[in-house]
């Protein structure tokens, strides 16, 4: 009887965590889709003030190169865009880790609050990607200042785009990628190697940060590809998110990153060759 009750509670814990993750991911993707659909990139203003879509200036000026220097609001808007986009892209791939964490917490009976501890773990994980979003916003600002982004927020330089593809492709083959990916592919091994479930909020937060750091080490080069296909290209965003999910959840070891890396490097080399 006791085992049956425990199993029922365990299923409920996982259902609550899963439902929360679905809601968070859906809301994040809804924001990205809304932003992509409503963003109006303004044309450069004419000397007489005519031309250009000034209604879209507030939203688009931070994204399009060379229209005006970024204001603080532009930076905040772009940072928010990156942060929400990272939440939407990374939440599906971290779901197995969070479900396992909640399950381990319930079995350990640690304070009877596995959901709260799982929330702190998730907060630590997302904190890593918020920091990455800040760095990505700075990179977008720099590329905009150098007039290397077109209005779709993709690099306007074929050479730069090709080099980013080559770099991302080669990184897929590095030992660092392999070490980080193994931590993401094996949630049980990660928990076992980091002391297991932690009921205290600070401990769970730190554990989430540790896992997020491995995830960042695994995926940062793939995120750089957003500047190749377009930061607001929804199909491109979805394609990268799916690749991340497949790398972490399909039990093929290094096969998926190495095949995708070889393709990226080959396409990047062809683009650079064509540019010259």
35-74 per-position pLDDT tens digit: 988 874 433 343 444 444 434 434 554 444 445 678 888 9
DSSP 153: S
Region class of 198: left (phi > 0), else alpha (psi between -120 and 50), else beta: beta
| pLDDT digits 0-9 by tens, 117-142 | 899 999 999 999 999 999 999 999 99
The backbone torsions φ and ψ at residue 61, rounded to the nearest 5 degrees and listed phi first, read: -65, -35
Task: Please say whether the beta carbons of 221 and 164 come within 8 A.
Answer: no
Task: Average pLDDT across each block of 10 residues of the chain; the chain has 276 residues. List them in order.
Answer: 50 81 96 84 41 43 56 92 96 94 74 77 97 96 88 85 96 96 93 87 95 97 95 94 95 92 97 91
The pLDDT assigned to 5 comes to 53
Q: Would you tell me the crossing angle of helices 234-249 and 201-224 to the nearest 10 degrees?
A: 120
What is the DSSP annotation of 15-58?
Answer: HHHHHHHHHHHHHHHHHHHHHHHH--PPPPPPTTS-SS-GGGHH
The pLDDT assigned to 198 comes to 86
């Amino acid at each position: 009887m006791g085992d049956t009750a425990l199993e029922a509670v365990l299923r409920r814990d996982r259902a609550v965590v899963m439902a929360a993750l679905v809601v968070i991911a859906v809301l994040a993707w809804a924001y990205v889709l809304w932003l992509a659909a409503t963003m109006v990139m303004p044309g450069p203003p004419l000397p007489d003030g005519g031309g250009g879509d000034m209604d879209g200036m507030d939203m688009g000026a931070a994204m399009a190169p060379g229209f005006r220097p970024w204001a603080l609001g532009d930076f905040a808007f772009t940072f928010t865009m990156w942060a929400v986009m990272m939440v939407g892209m990374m939440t599906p791939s971290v779901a197995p880790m969070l479900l396992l964490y909640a399950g381990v917490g319930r079995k350990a009976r640690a304070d009877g609050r596995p959901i709260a501890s799982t929330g702190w773990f998730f907060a630590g994980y997302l904190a890593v990607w918020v920091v990455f979003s800040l760095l990505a916003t700075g990179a977008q600002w720099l590329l905009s200042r150098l007039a290397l982004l077109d209005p779709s927020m993709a690099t306007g330089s074929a050479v730069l785009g090709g080099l980013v593809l080559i770099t991302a492709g080669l990184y897929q083959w590095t030992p660092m990628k392999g070490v980080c990916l193994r931590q993401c592919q094996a949630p049980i091994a990660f928990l076992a190697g980091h002391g297991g479930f932690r009921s205290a909020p600070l401990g769970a937060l730190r554990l989430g940060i540790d896992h997020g750091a491995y995830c960042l080490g695994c995926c940062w080069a793939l995120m750089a590809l957003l500047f190749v296909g377009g930061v607001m290209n929804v199909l491109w965003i979805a394609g990268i998110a799916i690749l991340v999910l497949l790398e972490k959840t399909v039990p093929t070891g290094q096969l998926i990153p190495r095949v995708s890396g070889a393709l990226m490097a080959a396409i990047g080399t062809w683009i650079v060759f064509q540019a010259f």
